[in-house]
Amino acid sequence: MSDMSDTPDATAPPALEAVGVTKVFPGVIANAGVDLALRRGEVHALLGENGAGKSTLASILTGLYRPDAGELRMDGAPVTLKTPRDGLDRGIGMVHQHFRLVERFTVTENIALGDKRLPWRWSAAKVRTEVQQLAGRYRLPIDPDAIVGELSVGERQRVEIVKVLYRGAEVLLLDEPTAVLTPQEADALFVTMRALADDGRAVVFISHKLREVMAVSDVVTVMRDGAVVDAVRTTDTDPEALARAMVGRSVDLSTRWARAAPGEPVLKLAGLRLDAVDGRGRLEDIDLEVRAGEIVGVAGVAGNGQRELAETIAGLRRPDAGTVQVLHRDITGVRPSQARVAGLAYVPEDRLGTGLAPSLSVTENLQLTRSLPFLIDRRGGLAHATEVIERFDVRTTGPSAAVGTMSGGNAQKVLLARELDVRDGLTRAIVVAAPTRGLDVGATEFVRDLLDARRAEGCAILLISEDLDEVRALSDRIVVLSEGRIVLRRDAADAEVTELGLAMAGQAAPDDSPDEPSDEPSDNLGGPR
Amino acid sequence: MTGWLGRLRLEKRNAPGTGVLLLVPLVSVVAALLFGAVFLSLIGLAPVAVYREMLRVSYTTGYGVADTLVSATPLILTGLAAAIAFRFKLYNIGGEGQLYVGAIAASGAALAFGDRLTGPAAILLVIVAGALGGAVWIAVPALAKAWLGTSEIITSLLLNYVALFLMQYLIFGARTFWRDPESATFPQGARIPDATRLPTLGTTRVNLGLIVAVLAAVVLYLLLTRTRIGYRWRVFGDAPAAARYAGIPSRQVIVVVLLLSGALAGLAGATEVAGRAGRLDPTGLALNIGYNGIIVAALARYNPLAVIPVGLLLGGVLNAGPALQTLPGARVPVAISTMLTGAILLFALAGELFVRYRIRMRDPADVEQLAEQATTAVASPRAATGPEAEA
């Protein structure tokens, strides 16, 4: 471990400390002798891939799990946390990635919920005042009387933060808090995190996004395979070193652009319109062309029509107006199987449940979108699965393993192997939604390599994602979808995060740029590779 | 950190082995027998003697085995009916009613056309009529489920009562086509022509229905595991969204699976009419064979092949009930069979826990050792990536 003597209050014992914490699950050592010191006044980033043990450690720190070995200390004194409530009572609060709010309750009601200090007949006004004070102090703008179900994701997150603060949390753990936010919302969250630390609280930022960790944290602890592999002050490190520590080898997650000029238009959307059902799922006047050998990224905040766009193209929804063409063939509203025959592959964002059937085997899932003979060729399927497992390095017990038992990254490999491993040469257009969501750095690199390779082979790829970093990493052109409309179109080289973020938040100037750039964006061609 | 209880833990099994899958039902049966023994003792009977008698009347004598096979025949068919539907999360609770309507249709067809047919054609007639009758009875719930999203549980269940009253009306309610005009004193169904009776095997009462049931199980098993149709059904049952994504027509799957389920239950009615009773016999049919099929299917884990042995087991237990009543000197209640079947199901459902999880006692020393291994593994330059499960 590096020297941490320049911490604001290095002499004082840490607010919360894990000493030699070990947690074993069947077949997995989730935490192996982990040491972690959370000091007041610091934002402490906990960095690691999926399965590195971050969530387990967080669960131990908050009292959800008890360590099998090692101990927790608060201000130097050993403590045993029996339940999360026990942790909360001692001032350790967690903001979960998946919010735990009652949608039909107001903000104040949600915050008061489960507070045992309140009498049977509690005074909403009193809680409300306290909520407003906390919200003002830490720049967390929320309306205490709003119904939670009507709030945006970012607002709900602020409610969760205020909720743990209201309970008197001195140590705050935020689990992947930026995953659901726009860049601007993320920046606002960083300001809040800083304010909390400055106020003498210890803040833990759990993430696998290097850029954000570099931007907000004072100290970084990197975990891999259940153990701490690096613990440094943020100023003493850089993203490359962190990535190396996290993955155990060097990785290339740099931006990649097409190396050749794109060819003819392959996927063509013209005037696509989908009318709202119950005020949701609207698409309006979508005009978009994706040419052979390019990736067009669709950015946007969740719920702005991304799923509808993907499903309309893939034949799962019939548009109310407009056309979808693959290689001049009209596939508007045809069955998904016919869209596939026309050369369209679709990787849905929901892997287990839509892209894959969880309790079916790897072999069977690889056949899901293939046309099958009446009698299934079991031996051929098994051989194909064995070969895919080998070539894509899928970690599984074998071709007969149910995909639901596999990790997200490995399940995604099975899905991509089916949809993107197109050696028959028929697939010309690919719609991929959130292909690296929830994947660790190693798997992300793998998926990006694969998409890049398909682009180089001349596939037209539409990449739909709520993760702006993901969109920016691969796309040659970027469009922003907001409330079912394309509100911004930019060449990737000219796209600025601020502008994209504002457009995602629905604050952009009207889209006035032409769909296709008149001349080739030659400055793209020599993009960093 | 705590006592031994604290070290007991449930571990999720990834893929339960065949051993466990077989062991759980066997243990369930033993547990149910022990459970039943408590009750038998309480009413002053010797459990061992009662169970020995059960074995005798159902499994270890020629007559007993034949009786068990006769009882098992419709159970296997209604078991298949439930298994095929429940497996794909389509809950056809209406096997009972479909069995009645199958019996009505089979006896009706036999009475109407049986005289004019001989040999295989006559037998085929009753079998097809029974299957059609069952399918017709599930048709409305199936279509309502597919197009309106109506719960098939409620609709199929309620139709059971309609079918029961319909059947009773046909024999007891009025002078209908099904009623025997000769029997003035006690109303009963008219005898179906001999040509339409299912042939018996040798000198026993075991009839062709058993072969039909076993064949149906094998065909279903092959359909589910080896064909495109079964594959699509399995995708639908596991993940309806994935089925939609893959372009599998969900409505078609719902309707076809439910119709097939109804047809199998109707077939059970046909074998009862043409095999056992030789007439539409409302009292002899209303023995909960349809509902018991659900128990059979659950114990068989919705596997068509496993339905056969489970059907034979439960057939024997149910068959023993009435036989025990006639034991000289003992007053064994007939309900003992029903209670045992219920207990077997309950223990089997509890046993599911052991199929999915294993119980382990952990030694704290192991933990230290594992932790050490982990630390050294990570410390080495290129550590092997561990399992990616994040708890």
User: pLDDT digit string (tens) for B145-173?
Assistant: 999 999 999 999 999 999 999 999 999 98
Q: Which 8-state DSSP code applies to residue A69?
A: E
Determine the distance in angstroms separating the CA of A295 from the nearest CA of chain B, rounded to an integer: 23
Q: Of the spans A482-491, A507-516, B215-224, which averages the highest pLDDT?
A: B215-224
Residue B375 has pLDDT above 70, yes or no: no
Residue B340 has pLDDT above 90, yes or no: no
Over residues B263-267, mean pLDDT: 98
- Measure the CA–CA gap between B298 and B293, rounded to whole angstroms: 9
Comparing CB atoms, the residue among B231, B379, B387 nearest residue A27 is B387
Domain housing A191: 16-247
Contact B227 A368 (CB under 8 A): no
- Measure the CA–CA gap between A492 and A239, rounded to whole angstroms: 22
- Measure the CA–CA gap between A342 and A325, rounded to whole angstroms: 9
B18 touches chain A (CB under 8 A): no
What percentage of residues in chain A have a pLDDT greater than 70?
92
Q: Scan residues 495-514 of A and list those with Cβ closer than 8 Å to B.
A: none
Determine the distance in angstroms separating the CA of A380 from the nearest CA of chain B, rounded to an integer: 13
My answer on whether A315 and A228 are in the same domain is no
Q: Which residues of B touch A353 (CB under 8 A)?
A: 239, 241-242
Pair of tokens at residue B235: 């995708």
Question: Can you give the residue ranges of every domain in chain B?
Answer: 74-312
Q: Which residues of A touch B231 (CB under 8 A)?
A: 364, 367, 372, 376
* 3-class SS shares of chain B: helix, strand, coil, % to 5: 75, 5, 25
Angle between helices B95-113 and B250-271 (to 10 degrees): 60
DSSP A157-221: HHHHHHHHHHTT-SEEEEESGGGGS-HHHHHHHHHHHHHHHHTT-EEEEEES-HHHHHHH-SEEE
Q: Which residues of A touch B367 (CB under 8 A)?
A: 22, 24, 68-69
Domain count, chain A: 2
Task: Give the residue from chain A lying closest to B10, CA to CA.
Answer: A26
Angle between helices B208-226 and B304-325 (to 10 degrees): 150
- For residue A273, being part of any structural domain is answered with yes
- For residue A225, being part of any structural domain is answered with yes
Residue B383 has pLDDT above 70, yes or no: no
Comparing CB atoms, the residue among A59, A225, A367 nearest residue B383 is A225
Lowest-pLDDT range of A128-142, A296-310, B6-20, B258-272: B6-20
Predicted local distance difference test score (pLDDT) of residue A303: 80
My answer on whether A227 and A330 are in the same domain is no
Question: Among candidates A64, A70, A143, A67, which has minimal Cα distance to A109?
Answer: A143
The answer to whether the beta carbons of residues A73 and A258 sit under 8 Å apart is: no
Predicted local distance difference test score (pLDDT) of residue B335: 81
Q: What is the pLDDT of residues B49-70, one digit of tens each?
A: 888 888 888 888 888 899 899 9
B367 touches chain A (CB under 8 A): yes
Predicted local distance difference test score (pLDDT) of residue B95: 96
- The single residue listed with the structure tokens 């009623």 is B179
- The single residue listed with the structure tokens 């029961």 is B164
Residue A524 has pLDDT above 70, yes or no: no
Determine the distance in angstroms separating the CA of A39 from the nearest CA of chain B, rounded to an integer: 25
Predicted local distance difference test score (pLDDT) of residue A67: 92
Pair of tokens at residue B379: 């410390």
Report CA torsion sign: A336, B146, A353, A297.
Answer: positive
The strand pairing partners of A324, in sequence order, are: A269
The answer to whether the beta carbons of residues A464 and A306 sit under 8 Å apart is: yes
- Measure the CA–CA gap between A175 and A240, rounded to whole angstroms: 23
Contact B371 A24 (CB under 8 A): yes
- The total of other beta-carbon atoms located within 10 Å of residue A303's CB is 14
Contact A227 B375 (CB under 8 A): yes
Confidence of residue A97 (pLDDT cuts 50, 70, 90): confident
- For residue A362, being part of any structural domain is answered with no
- The total of other beta-carbon atoms located within 10 Å of residue B224's CB is 22
My answer on whether A303 and A238 are in the same domain is no
- The total of other beta-carbon atoms located within 10 Å of residue A277's CB is 10
Q: Which residues contact B287 (CB under 8 A, 6 or more apart)?
A: B318
- Measure the CA–CA gap between A167 and A91, rounded to whole angstroms: 8
Q: Which 8-state DSSP code applies to residue A145?
A: T
User: Which amino acid would we find at residue A93?
Assistant: G
CATH code, A332: 3.40.50.300
**Enclosing H/E stretch for A310:** helix A306-314
Q: What is the mean pLDDT of chain A?
A: 86
Over residues B363-372, mean pLDDT: 52
B2 touches chain A (CB under 8 A): no
Q: Which of A218, A247, A276 lies at the terminal end of a domain, its last residue?
A: A247
- The total of other beta-carbon atoms located within 10 Å of residue A462's CB is 26
- The single residue listed with the structure tokens 């005798």 is B56
- For residue A350, being part of any structural domain is answered with no
- For residue A233, being part of any structural domain is answered with yes
Question: Among candidates A420, A421, A366, which has minimal Cα distance to A396?
Answer: A366
Predicted local distance difference test score (pLDDT) of residue B60: 86
Task: Give the residue from chain A lying closest to B389, CA to CA.
Answer: A51
Distances (CA, A) of A449 to A239, A453, B288: 20, 6, 61
Q: Which residues of A touch B382 (CB under 8 A)?
A: 248-249
Global ipTM:
0.80
Q: Which residues of B touch A407 (CB under 8 A)?
A: 387-390
Q: In what order do the strands lie in the sheet with A28-38?
A: A28-38, A16-25, A69-74, A77-79
A379 touches chain B (CB under 8 A): no
DSSP A351-414: TBTTTB-TTSBHHHHTTTTS---SB--HHHHHHHHHHHHHHTT--SS-TTSBGGGS-HHHHHHH
- For residue A66, being part of any structural domain is answered with yes
Comparing CB atoms, the residue among B241, B387, B389 nearest residue A350 is B241
Comparing CB atoms, the residue among B12, B371, B378 nearest residue A225 is B378
What percentage of residues in chain B have a pLDDT greater than 70?
85
- For residue A389, being part of any structural domain is answered with no
Residue A329 has pLDDT above 60, yes or no: yes
- The total of other beta-carbon atoms located within 10 Å of residue B17's CB is 10
Lowest-pLDDT range of A67-76, A333-342, A464-473, B361-370: B361-370
- For residue A65, being part of any structural domain is answered with yes
